[in-house]
Structures are given as structure tokens and as C-alpha cells.
Amino acid sequence: MTSMPTNVTGRRALLSQLWDENPIFRQVLGICSALAVTNLLLNTALMCAGLVWATTLSAVTVSLVRDYIPARVRMMVQVLLIAVYVIMVDIAMRAYFPDIHRVIGPYVGLIITNCIVMGRLEAFSSRNRPWPAFCDALGAGLGYSILLLAIALVRETMGFGTVLGVPLPMREAWWQPWTILVMPPGAFFVLAIAVWIARGRALAREARRAAKGGAR
Amino acid sequence: MKINTKSPLYVIAFAAVTSAVFTAGIVTLQVATAARVERNEKMREYRALAALFAPAWGLADPAALSDQQVIDLVDARVDASQTVTDDAEQPPLAFRLYRAYADQAHKALVGVAIPVRGTGFWDLIEGRLALSADLKEVTGLVFINQKETPGLGGRIMEPAFTDQFSKKVRGRQGREPLRADPPAAPGHPFLYVGRGSPTGPADPRYARSVDAITGATQTSLAVERFLNTDLRRFRRAMAAAHAAPAADRPGGGP
Amino acid sequence: MIAQAATPHGMTAGYLMLVLLSAAFTDNILLTRFLGMCSFLAVSRQIKAAAGLGLAVLFVTTVTAGINAALYHYALVPLNQAYGVPLGLQFIVFIVVIAGFVQLLEMVIERLSLGLYYALGIFLPLITVNCAILGASLFLVNLGFGVVDGTLFGFGAGLGWMLAIIAMAGIRQKLAGAKIPAGLEGPGLALVITGIMALAFLGFSGMIQLGR
């Protein structure tokens, strides 16, 4: 289990989660939802919002009570916390925004069991103060969102020929539906390419830094 | 006060208290919004019925009506009090009959709708299937609940899929309405989803076939499966009840 | 060639076989429903670690499926009928049961095999939120299974997950010597391989249909 120093500043935590320790292509977390939700840009945006909400709130809460949670039941408590925050929103949506709920409803489970949320709680929030924990969680959520929105853009345009539900201009003339991209196996390939590009750039950056001899 | 977080008593107490507090919170929230959620569900069903019977009632755009207008319309013209049950197979299956009349007098029957439901790829799919008054044709299909993959199986809610069942839309395209009477050969399905186009009038798929959703194989298969099961069991339930709605109310009589 | 079985059903050997086959193969929780991906991609470099995690997931899935099925049928449903306790609680109940059980498992593994404990790293507590395990419990409720067929379904799902991760580890171990672009190395390649496996499993779509 990774153990981070307990004096990491908020800014550093946020920035590292955004790219260097990006949850998707570095830590390999949050993949299930990345596959399921990225066939439509709108759903992806809502999912990312839901994830940022769940991660930040539970990170702050766990960090606040980290000294009081008994080690033996920490996972139960953490998972309960995450579930409560997400289900709260789910219930509110179901009552007051049924149209959005119809879109995001199937994904509620994917937010609660998203490895990113639990992963950051275990690795960071349970050992750090609330403000760094919040920044770390926000960074993880944003890092996740950036990559997912990029993937969704590709999948929706090539699979459905629309962006946010709006058809591309003059698509009858030049666009052919590439349905496999809309189905989950297609998600694997687009995600693999995204990971390839992102990781390639991150590794190149690290190599440049190491060559300069600077500390990270 | 230094708390010993390792003592068994503390562990149990902590776990019990947090579980109780959180569960109570969720339950409270759920109960508080229950009325609102129920109203949303009710509106979804009412709007589905309005959309299904709009052609028969001569309504051009049921979606433009306000919630209260839809409630008044459906309450006046639809009688949902009767249920027929098929218990030839276990478990017994009950169908609530939504009988739509031309007006409040409930004399001229214009159509019947039944609930259709089954397990899709992820969770239960539920809809309403509208049949003609003589139960021989499908006049429309609307889904009111599903949790299929958005963008794939979830597209069964879209008009692109459900219009294939609409008698009015098919008529505009020069196609016959889908048949809901028992197939010529016993054991054959009532309806085919994504089984190819019929080759001619003698093909068992003729006037019984719709396209599936590309990429949503499981959902399309599930829809085919439960539509056929429900149609089959519904006909048996009607026969058992000896109550063909059109038999005792020819359209237009006093 | 489509096999169909509707529940409740006599607990015939044929029916149970269908449940097992559908859970493990034609409706493989990893390659058909794409649940449980994170640990699958991260821990599948070596067969030993993969087998260890696979067995852990198999164990947790089977036992929690059984417990959750029993809780659902003998506690949640009666409570719902008697006092109107909302069935939506099943989500929280299931996941808390899983979390508690994984905590237990973590203690056991730490005691029995320290090597495995460190090899699994963060992915041991992440079994808690392995969507495949929660998914198995939720599906068995959706498909209307009882306790016996529900546990068998959980076993099948876990088995399918385990077989997939071991297959993946085997492939990746073989590829360890190949020349791969630096950026694709690791999760990138794993995703490509999984994509190809998933395409293959598309062929099983709808072969066995359970539920109403």
C-alpha cells in the first residue's frame, strides 16, 4: 500500500493527481466507468461531475474523522460514506430532476464502486489533513475527467456522428457510423490509444526532467 | 479524552452507530421524496398512455399538453380497473388492462394497452404495448422504465425504435401494422426483433418483424423474448377470462 | 441455439448448469459486462499474483453472493412488505457486507501469505469496490435467483473473472519479451488485449437467457 508523506501541500497534491499520478493512465483506476460512460459526451460530463462530488466530499469527511475510525472497520465505514453521498444525490435527482436521473441512474453504482474514490481514501485522505485531502481528491476527479472527456469526444463523434447530441454538420456527406466504438470493446481500444499518448508524453517529460538532474 | 480506537467495544459501537446513522439518513431522504417520486412515475405512465392512444383520439401532439391536462385526459377516457391473469404457467402473470374509449361515456372502445416487462441486459425493462380493440394489431409501444446501457440498449426508448411498432407511423411509410394475433404455426413467435426482413407475405416474419438496435444485441433479444412471452400469456389470460373487450362493445354502438 | 430458463424453476441439474455456464462464460462479468476492470488491468502481469487475486475475488464473490441473496430474501423483502422499508437499501446493505468480508479477508491474507499481501498492494482493499462483486450480488437479485442458485451464480461470476485474469496474465507474460512502444507498455497493452478478448466474447451474446 502506498504511503504518502503527511506534509504534502494541497497544491502539490492537486497537480500530481492531475497528470503525473493521473488515476486513469498511471494508477489504472476508474476504468469500468471509463468504458461504460464514454460513448456519450453528456453522460460523461455528468459522470465526471458525480465523481468529483463523491471523491471530494468523502475525502474531506474521512480526513476529518481519520483519527477516530477503528482500523478494523475502516473499509466498511469508507464505503458507507461514499455510498451515502452518492445515493443522496441519486434520490434528490430522482425526485426533482427525473430527466437527468434517467441518464445518470444506471451509473450510480459505477460511481460508488469507482476505484478512484476508494483508492484516494485509502492512499491519501486517511493519512492527511482535510485541505490536502480535498485537493488530492479534486485533482484525481479532474484528471479522470480530462481523459474521459477526450475519449468521449472521439467515441461519440465517430460512433454516433453527434457531439452532445447535436449532429455534426453535413454528416450525411462524409460520416459512416462506426458502431463498434459505441460498444464497450471499442472503448478498450480508444482508451488504450489515449493511455498510450498520455503515458508516452508523461514518460518523455520525466526523461527530460531526469536529464536536467532536477528533483521532482 | 484519548479514545482507544483498538478496543473491541469501541469498534463495535462505532460500526453500529455509523451504520445506523447513515442508513437512517438514507431511509429518511427516501421516504421524504417518496411522494414526489411516485408522482413522477405516475406522470411517466400517464404520458405513455396518452402517447399510445393519441392517434386513436385524434391528438396531434400529446407531448405539448401540461401534466394536469394529461392526467385529466387519461382519467376520463381510460379504464384501468380490470386485470386478467394467466395461471396456466407458473408463476401466474396478471395483466392490467388499460381500455381506452373515444370519450368519457366509455362506450366506444378504441384500443387496449397491456404492461410488458422483462429482464434486459442490466435490469428490468418495463413498457406498455397498445393493441387495437380487436386485439389483432399492435398500435404502439412505449417503454417507461429501463436501465440498459445508455447510447446502446437505452435507445429502445427513442422513437427510432418504438416508431416501428406505431401503426400510424408504419401507415405513413406504407407498411402494414404489426400483427398481434397468434402466428400461423403454433410455437412460432408473435414478433421478431432483428431477425431479418421478411421475403414475402408467406414468410412467418411478414408484418411481425422490427429491426433490432445495432450494437445492443442483449437488449434487443430481451425485448423480443418478453414481448413474445407477454403476448402469448396475455392471449391465454383473455381466453381464460372469456372477456374479449371488443366482443361485447362493437365500436360506435350506444 | 439459444437456451432459455425462467425462474423460479425446479432446481434441476440442467438449470443449475445453465446458471453456472452463463455466469462464467457467456455472460462473463469481466468480458461481457466489463466490471472489475481496475484490478484486472493492474494485477495481471504475473500469473502468480493474478491467480492469487483471482482466487480472492472468487472466494469473496461466492460467499457474499450467498450472504446477500439470503439477506435480500429473508430480511429486505419481508421488511419491505411488512414495514415499507425501501428496497433501495439493498445497495448499501450489499456493499457493506462485501466491505466487511474483504476486511476479514485482508486480515487472513496478511497472516497467511505476506508475499501475496504486498504483491496485491492497494488492490486488496480495492476488492471492496470491485464492481464485479457488487455486480454479481445485484444481478442475482435482478434475475430473481434464490439463495442456492444465487450462490452458484456468484461462484460462476467469480470463476469467470478469475479465468479471465489468469488468461490475461498468461498472455502478458508471454508478451513480456516483445518490443512494445514505451507509452503502450503496461495498462495500454492490457487494454488492447482485453479489447480483443471482449470482441471474441461478443460472439456469446444472448446464448443463454435467464430471468423473466
- pLDDT tens track for A133-150: 999 999 999 999 999 999
Three-state SS sequence of chain C = CCEEECCCCCCCHHHHHHHHHHHHHHCCCCCCCCCCHHHHHHCCCCHHHHHHHHHHHHHHHHHHHHHHHHHHHHHHHHHHHHHCCCHHHHHHHHHHHHHHHHHHHHHHHHHHCHHHHHHHHHHCHHHCCCHHHHHHHHHHHHCCCCHHHHHHHHHHHHHHHHHHHHHHHHHHHHHCCCCCCCCCCCHHHHHHHHHHHHHHHHCCCCCEEECC
Arithmetic mean of pLDDT over chain C: 86
Q: Give C-chain residues touching B91 at CB under 8 angstroms.
A: 8
Does residue C208 fall inside a structural domain? no
Query: How many domains are contained in chain C?
Result: 1
Cβ–Cβ gap C37/A83 under 8 Å: no
Under the banding of pLDDT at 50, 70 and 90, the label for residue B248 is: very low
Instruction: Share the mean pLDDT of chain B.
Output: 88
> Which of B26, B33, B148 lies nearest to residue A95, judging by beta carbons?
B33
pLDDT score of C146 more than 50: yes
Considering all CA atoms of chain C, what is the largest pairwise distance in Å, rounded to the nearest integer? 64
Question: What count of other Cβ atoms lies within 10 Å of the Cβ of residue B158?
Answer: 11
- Comparing alpha-carbon positions, the chain A residue that sits nearest to C34 is A32
Q: What is the mean pLDDT of residues B24-33?
A: 88
**Average pLDDT of the segment spanning C123-129:** 78
- Among A67-76, B47-56, C203-212, the minimum mean pLDDT is found in C203-212
Strongest mean pLDDT among A100-114, A202-216, B177-191: B177-191
Q: Which residue of A has its CA nearest to C197?
A: A185
User: In this predicted model, what pLDDT tens digit does every residue of B140-155 receive, in sequence order?
Assistant: 999 999 888 888 888 9
Q: Return d(Cα C140, Cα C145) in angstroms, integer.
A: 5
Choose among B52, B58, B189: nearest CA to B127: B52
CB contact under 8 A, B5 and A71: yes
CB spacing of C91 vs A72 below 8 angstroms = no
Whether C101 maps to a domain, the answer reads yes
Amino acid at position C198, single letter: A
What average pLDDT does this structure show over B20-36?
88
* Cα Rg of chain B, angstroms: 23
A74 vs A118: CA distance, rounded Å: 11
Which residues in chain B are contacts of C88 at CB distance < 8 A? 26, 30
Which of A64-68, A168-172, C9-13, C31-35 bottoms out in mean pLDDT, i.e. has the lowest?
A: C9-13
Q: Do C206 and B23 touch (CB under 8 A)?
A: no
Least confident interval from A125-129, A176-180, B180-184, C85-89: C85-89
Give the whole-angstrom CA distance, residue B27 versus residue C85: 8
Pairing between strand A162-163 and C3-5?
Answer: unpaired
Q: Does A75 touch chain C (CB under 8 A)?
A: yes
Residue C2 has pLDDT above 70, yes or no: no
Over pLDDT 70: what percentage of chain C?
Answer: 93
Is residue A25 less than 8 Å (CB to CB) from chain C? yes
Of A70, A177, A182, the CB nearest to B5: A70
CA C97 to chain A, closest CA, distance in angstroms equals: 8
Q: Give the mean model confidence (pLDDT) for residues B152-180.
A: 93
- Predicted local confidence at residue B243, as pLDDT: 54
Q: Do B30 and C205 touch (CB under 8 A)?
A: no
Rounded percentage of chain B residues whose pLDDT exceeds 70: 93
pLDDT surpassing 70 at residue A45: yes
Question: Is the CB of residue B147 less than 8 Å from the CB of residue B120?
Answer: yes
Of B19, B26, B221, the CB nearest to C209: B221
Contacts of B23 in chain C (CB under 8 A): 89, 92
* Residue B99 backbone phi and psi in degrees, to 5: -95, 120
What is the pLDDT, as a whole number, of residue A185? 87
Given a contact as 3+ CB pairs under 8 Å, which chains touch A?
B, C
Per-residue confidence (pLDDT) for residue B8, from 0 to 100: 80
Closest by alpha carbon to C153, among C88, C76, C72? C72
Using the Cβ of C181 and the Cβ atoms of chain A, whether some distance falls under 8 Å is answered with yes
pLDDT at residue A7 tops 80 = no
Q: What is the pTM of this model?
A: 0.85
pLDDT digits (tens, 9 = 90+) for A29-40: 888 888 888 889
Peptide bond into B92 cis (omega under 30): no
**Residues of C (141-200) whose Cβ lies below 8 Å from B:** 142-144
pLDDT at B16: 86
> Percent of chain A, pLDDT > 90?
26
In a domain, residue C211? The reply is: no
pLDDT in tens, B99-139: 999 988 999 999 999 999 998 988 899 999 999 999 999 99
| Alpha carbon distance B47, B142 (integer Å) | 10
Pairwise CA distance, residues C198 & B88, whole Å: 41
Residue C1: the pLDDT is 39
3 state DSSP class of B36: helix
- Enter the C-alpha cell of residue A97: 430532476
Owning domain of residue C99: 22-173
Nearest partner of A1 among A140, A133, A118, judged by Cα: A118
Helix (H, G, I), strand (E, B) or coil at B157: helix
Contact C186, C14 (CB under 8 A): no
Q: Rounded to 5 degrees, what are φ and ψ at B140?
A: 180, 165
Q: What is the pLDDT of residues A146-202, one digit of tens each?
A: 999 999 999 999 888 888 888 888 877 888 888 888 888 888 999 999 989 988 888
What are the chain A neighbours of B11 within 8 Å (beta carbons)?
A: 70, 72-73
Within a domain: C116: yes
Residues of B in contact with A76 (CB under 8 A): 15, 19
Q: How many CB pairs under 8 A join B and C?
A: 42
Q: Which residues of A touch C126 (CB under 8 A)?
A: 29, 115, 118-119, 122
**Cα angle at C33 between A116 and B159, to 5 degrees?**
105
Identify whether C201 is part of a domain.
no
The A residues from 134 to 173 touching C (CB cutoff 8 Å) are none
Closest C-alpha to B115, from B106, B105, B123, B124: B124
Phi first, then psi: what are they for C191, rounded to 5°? Answer: -65, -40
The x, y and z cell numbers of residue B240, run together, are 381464460
Instruction: Give me the residues paired with residue B138 across strands.
Output: B131
Residue with cell 470493446: A185
- Model confidence at B71: pLDDT above 50: yes
Please indicate, yes or no, if residue C111 is contained in any of the structural domains: yes
Residues of B in contact with C8 (CB under 8 A): 90-91
Cα–Cα distances in angstroms (integers) from residue B80 to residues B46, B63, C80, in the given order: 11, 21, 26
